[in-house]
Amino acid sequence: MRTRLLILTSLLSGALIAGATTATLSQQEDNVAADITAGAWLVYRHNFVTDEGRVVDNRAGGISHSESQGYGMLMAEAADDRDSFDRIWAWTKGNLFVRDDGLAAWRWDPTQTPPITDRNNATDGDLLIAWALMRAGQRWDEPELQREARRISDAIVERATIKTDHGLVLLPGVHGFGPNEQADGPVVNMAYWIFPAIVDLGRLSTRFPSKALMDSGVTLLRDARFGPARLPSDWLSLSGDMPRPASGYPSQFGYDAIRVPLYLAWYSRDYPDILEIFASHWKQFGTASMSVVELATATRIAPMPDPGYQAVAALVECSLGRRPDVALLSDFSSQDYYPATLHVLSLMAIAERYPTCLTDFP
Q: Are 158 and 147 in contact (CB under 8 A)?
A: no
- Alpha carbon distance 277, 156 (integer Å): 30
Q: 205 in helix, strand or coil?
A: coil
H/E element holding 296? none
Q: Do residues 169 and 161 lie in contact, with contact meaning Cβ atoms separated by under 8 Å?
A: yes
Closest CA to 83 of 40, 135, 136: 136
Could you tell me the CA-to-CA distances from 203 to 48, 74, 75, 198 in Å, in that order? 31, 18, 21, 9
Determine the residue type at 111.
T
DSSP state at residue 231:
B
Report the alpha-carbon distance of residue 199 to residue 211 in Å, rounded. Answer: 8
Query: Kind of pairing, strands 187-188 and 167-170?
Result: unpaired
Tell me how far apart the alpha carbons of residues 94 and 98 are, in angstroms, rounded to a whole number: 8
Q: What is the phi-psi region of residue 286: left when phi exceeds 0, alpha when psi lies from -120 to 50, beta otherwise?
A: left
- Residues designated catalytic: 67, 124
